[in-house]
Amino acid sequence: PKMAKAASHPELVKAFNSVTWVAPNIVRLECLVDFAEANDDGFGNPPEFWELGIYDSAGHLVAYFTFPVDTKYPTTQLLYEIDIII
């Protein structure tokens, strides 16, 4: 996996902050939406995140995750840790 993209906020495409093997068959991907990122949904409201796509270097979707809604404010960071069992 090369990058993450929030389908609920499609203009935000990020490289992973870290990719770590936490067990022989489990890789953990971390994606951080920092304080200055994604603070407007395009209509002047705080954006909501509820899904995340994982893409390879060719831009192909290789994994898709959903989670309870997170609202992003300028005073918050959102950290997503995704464990993939191989």
pLDDT tens string 35-86: 988 888 888 889 888 888 888 888 888 888 899 999 999 999 999 999 999 9
Predicted pLDDT of residue 2: 53
Q: Which residue, 36, 30, 27, is CA-closest to 14?
A: 30
Predicted pLDDT of residue 43: 87
Once rounded to an integer, what is the mean pLDDT over residues 13-34? 90
Q: What is the DSSP letter of 42?
A: S
